[in-house]
């Protein structure tokens, strides 16, 4: 997604202790990031403005940015999006595993 302010890719860290609310997935909608829907992609997101973004509840906004900086308004239409999952390798006494 490209934001209307022309900002490049932006990493938004979770507020602590909000890790349990990082992402929610459901078969009737796209991904929901954050408790209170910091970023929510609705089903049929490309046909209406029912997707929602109001950051700074679970994810920290970049300094000096408003809660709607990512999309320009609270409700928006999606043309394309990608979701990535980060896996970290951790070494233990019994070997290496991916969490």
User: Domain extents for the chain?
Assistant: 1-6+18-78
Q: Using the predicted structure, report yes or no on whether residue 97 has a pLDDT greater than 50.
A: no
Q: Using the predicted structure, report yes or no on whether residue 75 has a pLDDT greater than 70.
A: yes
Place of tokens 């990608």: 82
Whether this prediction's pTM lies above 0.85 is answered by no
Q: Tell me how many degrees the CA angle 13-85-59 measures, rounded to the nearest 5.
A: 20
Q: Which of 85, 30, 20, 19 is nearest to 53 (CA)?
A: 30
Greatest Cα pair distance, the chain, in angstroms, is: 51
- Cβ-contact 35, 57 below 8 angstroms: yes
pLDDT digits (tens, 9 = 90+) for 4-62: 777 777 888 888 777 888 888 878 888 888 887 788 888 888 888 888 888 888 888 88
């Amino acid at each position: 997604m490209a934001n209307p302010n022309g900002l490049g890719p932006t990493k938004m860290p979770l507020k602590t202790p909000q890790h349990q609310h990082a992402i929610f997935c459901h078969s009737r909608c796209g991904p929901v990031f954050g408790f209170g829907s910091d970023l929510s992609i609705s089903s049929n997101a490309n046909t209406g403005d029912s997707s929602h973004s109001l950051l700074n509840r679970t994810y920290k906004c970049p300094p000096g940015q408003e809660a709607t900086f990512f999309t320009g308004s609270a409700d928006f239409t999606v043309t394309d999006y990608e979701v990535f999952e980060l896996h970290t390798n951790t070494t233990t006494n019994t070997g290496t595993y991916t969490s």
